[in-house]
Amino acid sequence: MGSATTINKAALQALRDRARRDVDAGLAFGGVEGCSIALAKDGDILWEEGFGAARADTPILLLSITKTVFESALWQLFAGSLKPEDRVLEIIPDFMSGTAPDLTIGMLETHMGGFPWAPLDFPEAADRDTRLAAFREWRTDRKPGEAYEYHPLCVGWVLAEIVERVSGVDYRTFLKRQVLEPLGLSGVNGVSLGEPIAALQDVLLHHNCMYGWAPDRSKRVPMVYGLDSYEGLALGTPGAGGVGTASGVARLYQAYLSNPGELWNPAIHRDAISRTRINGPDPVGRPMLRTLSFLQAGPPEGRFGERDVFGSAVSERTFGHGGQGGQIAWADPDTGLSFCYLTNTVVFPPFCFHPRARELSSLAAQVLDR
């Protein structure tokens, strides 16, 4: 909170009230157990706060926001011999037993791979040999590059294998050493992936209420990859298993805006946050805008479907990503503001389509005095 930026107190109060509203509603009525918000600008946290069971510094599962964390490690490799246009088979020769020769790394990152629901789950995914065996058995549902369809989890494992083969380092360690530690963000109270169970004891574990709330946790449908357990979080699922705080994510997105010390090659960094690579419909015809690693806000009239999470008040250049249950992280190059909202509760509707993300983003974008 050390920034000289002036905050609109009424707008901030409206944001706080909206975050608190879902806690006050209660789990039994579609609310959340805990949540946290953070706003940052010029590298500083402007405001951070926790509600319900969460404090501002309570670690929470990042779900699909994790994708934008992990892919920043790939940007490091793109400064060398690796390129988004490289074919996956050049790095993993037996991937899909050679049946997808034209599949590229860029297609994986932009959800154009054509295999969104390839099967793999916890605890099997914890074993690399099992993952590689699954890779060989997977097949595409459509030609890679033909159409956009969100790949929730499977692509992350392929990207993790690529990181390991190119760098010679465990994918979790590579992310930590090359990105999170240099930024001073490493650890569950910042941003992390695959920390040991002993380091995860303060995490506010997730409630999966997508199919309805039940007071007995054992009666609820478990989350994929064991993401509602310490064991599952320790695995470090690269597409949805990150752990951190809202302030840690907001600070990371500040780094995505400024590229401090040129941590990433400047051309690669600009490409990752601003070059539109996907501009077309999703499977049900909603307008989709994506860079290599992020959703783009684009024109307000097109912000529905996955882009709904940006709300109505950010600039068109804003980039970010949602997470199941209404989580959201974004950065706006026009204002320099970054925002993150985390919650440990997944309710219907699934994925990132809960209206709370849209409403919170719209309020957060108005917190700066203009």
In 195-230, which positions are buried (b, 16+ CB within 10 angstroms) versus exposed (e)?
beeebbeebbbbbbbbeebeeeeeebeebbbbbbbb
Mean pLDDT for the stretch of residues 166-172? 98
pLDDT at res. 11: 98
Domain check: are 212 and 232 in the same one? yes
Q: What local confidence, expressed as pLDDT, does residue 19 receive?
A: 98
CA 365 – CA 362 distance, rounded (Å): 6
| Pair 54, 36: CB distance under 8 Å | yes
Look at the chain and report how many structural domains it folds into. 2
Domain contains 369: no
Q: What is the mean pLDDT of the chain?
A: 95
Residues 117 and 47 placed together within one structural domain of the fold: no
Residue 370 counted as domain residue: no
Q: Would the pLDDT of 347 be above 90?
A: no
- CA distances for 113 relative to 73, 154, 235, 322, angstroms: 20, 10, 24, 20
Q: Are residues 81 and 207 in the same domain?
A: no
**Quick check: is 93 in a domain?**
yes
Pair (121, 81) in one structural domain = yes
The whole-number pLDDT of residue 315 equals 97
Residue 294 scores a pLDDT above 80: yes
**Is there a single domain that holds both residue 106 and residue 206?**
no
Res 139: pLDDT: 98
- pLDDT tens-digit map of 353-369: 688 999 999 999 999 98
Considering the domain boundaries, does residue 118 fall inside one? yes
In this structure, what CATH number is given to the domain that contains residue 271?
3.40.710.10
- Asked whether residue 126 falls in the same domain as residue 191, the answer is no
**What proportions of the chain, in percent to the nearest 5, are helix, strand and coil?**
40, 15, 45
Averaged over 245-267, what is the pLDDT? 99
Q: Are residues 160 and 39 in the same domain?
A: no
163 and 229 together in one domain: no
Q: Model pTM greater than 0.85?
A: yes
- Given a contact cutoff of 8 angstroms between Cβ atoms, the answer to whether 45 and 251 are in contact is yes
Q: How confident is the model at residue 350 (pLDDT cuts 50, 70, 90)?
A: low
Q: 97 and 18: one domain?
A: no
Same domain, 357 and 285: yes
Q: What is the pLDDT of residues 74-124, one digit of tens each?
A: 999 999 989 999 999 999 999 999 999 999 999 999 999 999 999 998 999
Mean pLDDT of the 333-350 span: 92
Q: What is the pLDDT of residue 3?
A: 46
pLDDT computed for residue 220 by the predictor? 85
Q: Is residue 96 part of a domain?
A: yes
The domain of 355 spans: 9-66+187-364
**Together in a domain, 158 and 45:** no
Q: Give the residue from 117, 145, 174 where a domain finishes.
A: 174
- Which tokens go with 183? 């930024």
* 18 assigned to some structural domain: yes
Band (319; pLDDT cuts 50, 70, 90): very high
- Picking from 174, 204, 226, the residue at the C-terminal end of a domain is 174
Does residue 348 register a pLDDT over 80?
no
* In a domain? residue 111: yes
238 and 257 share one domain: yes
- Per-residue model confidence as pLDDT tens digits over 172-224: 999 999 999 999 999 999 999 999 999 999 999 999 988 888 888 888 888 98
Q: Which domain-ending residue is among 145, 174, 203?
A: 174
